[in-house]
Amino acid sequence: MPLPEYVLLDRDGVINADSDAFIKSPDEWRPLPGSLEAIAELTRHGIGVVVISNQSGLARGLFDLDTLKRIHDKMQRMVEAHGGRITTIYFCPHGPGDGCSCRKPRPGLLQAFGRDCQVELRGLPLVGDSLRDIQAARAVGAAPILVKTGKGRQTLADNPDIDVPVFENLHDAVQYLLAG
């Protein structure tokens, strides 16, 4: 099986530690063990990394766009310090009740990436830690992968019959993808 052109990643709970109180500042953004190295491994194999993330903390007034930019700048710097690169970041700024088309499980963020970068989404891996990540991937024909970090263990417990590859963390999921 050929390597994918891109791998799509949820942010909180996949790349960095998640928080029920939200990640509201660069200081609160902490990478999960092995996640930065996993992104670097994808980069070394010529695979683009795209972050697809709900960020309802914006709608809730917990942080502003400038703060989110600083959080993402920190993430980018840390990824680059490990030899990796994040190609682009797509985020939904809306709250759960806003009815937007971009908040996962709706597929708007993925469709925007596909349209903007002229990329066929069918079969592209999307690594997430929640049911909404899986649902968004399936809505566009992408290939969902669940990690047990973040909300992943609870997602698995709540959906024991989920039919997707499941891995301990992003590092293990990336090893699976690179093995073809």
pLDDT score at 2: 84
Yes or no: say if 52 and 69 are a contact pair by the CB < 8 Å rule: no
d(CA 151, CA 109): 20
Q: What angle do CA 111, 113, 115 make, to 5 degrees?
A: 65
d(CA 145, CA 113): 18
d(CA 50, CA 98): 24
Instruction: Report the b/e string of 120-148 with b at 16+ CB within 10 A.
Output: ebeebbbbbbbbbbbebbebbebbbbbbb
To the query of whether residue 12 is one of the catalytic residues in this protein, the response is: yes
To the query of whether residue 73 is one of the catalytic residues in this protein, the response is: no
d(CA 1, CA 133): 23
Compute φ and ψ for 80, nearest 5 degrees: -65, -35
Its CATH class, for the domain covering 6-179, is alpha beta
pLDDT score at 1: 65
Q: What is the pTM of this model?
A: 0.97
Yes or no: say if 77 and 69 are a contact pair by the CB < 8 Å rule: no
Domain ranges of the chain: 6-179
Catalytic residue among 10, 129, 133, 172: 10
Compute φ and ψ for 81, nearest 5 degrees: -65, -20
d(CA 21, CA 160): 26
What is the block-wise mean pLDDT of the chain (180 residues), using blocks of 10 residues?
92 96 97 98 98 97 97 98 98 95 97 97 98 98 98 97 96 95
